[in-house]
């Protein structure tokens, strides 16, 4: 069995997320998705629109996904070691450098893990931040 790991914020689900997870699932038998915890989202991107537990529940309901975990606040390599993936699939727009990630995996005794980058989705609704900005511009109220 080939275990694939994907990760992300998944704050407002859009076609780019679906494409990413579908591509990841196609590379193996089991897809484990790591949803970034709220504190990580705050530190690296923005204030989360949706709380981590809700994001994890939504992602877990998506067809390609077999298992979801909420990421920790410490060393991400601990999560990789826990999941034991055969393949890590990076989103096309994620800032990870695949070569540096491979080197880090190798240095931690996990050099057998393949690292690949997903292809961009042509009809992507754009990133979550752009969706939020569009909502702000159109004046949609709560």
Total structural domains within the chain:
1
H or E segment and range at residue 58: helix 52-60
Q: What is the pLDDT of residue 114?
A: 97
Residue 87 scores a pLDDT above 80:
yes
Please compute Rg for the chain using Cα positions. 15
Q: When comparing pLDDT for 81 and 44, which is higher?
A: 81
- What are the Cα distances from residue 138, in Å, to 15, 130, 134? 21, 12, 6
Do residues 106 and 11 make contact, with C-beta atoms less than 8 angstroms apart?
no
Mean pLDDT of 4-21: 92
Q: What is the pLDDT of residue 100?
A: 95
Q: What is the pLDDT of residue 125?
A: 52
**CATH number for the domain harbouring residue 131:** 3.40.50.620
Domain extent for 111: 3-138
**Full-prediction pTM beyond 0.85?**
yes
């Amino acid at each position: 069995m080939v275990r694939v790991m994907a990760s992300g914020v998944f704050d407002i689900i859009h076609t780019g997320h679906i494409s990413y997870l579908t591509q990841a699932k196609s590379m193996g038998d089991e897809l484990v998705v790591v949803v970034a915890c709220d504190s990580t989202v705050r530190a690296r991107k923005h204030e989360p629109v949706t709380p981590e537990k809700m994001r994890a529940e939504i992602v877990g309901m998506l067809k390609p996904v077999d298992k979801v975990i909420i990421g920790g606040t410490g060393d991400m390599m601990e999560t990789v070691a826990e999941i034991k993936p055969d393949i890590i699939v990076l989103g096309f727009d994620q800032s990870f450098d695949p070569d540096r990630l491979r080197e880090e995996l190798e240095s931690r005794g996990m050099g057998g893990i393949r690292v690949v980058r997903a292809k961009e989705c042509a009809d992507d609704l754009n990133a979550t931040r752009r969706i939020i900005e569009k909502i702000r511009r159109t004046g949609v109220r709560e």
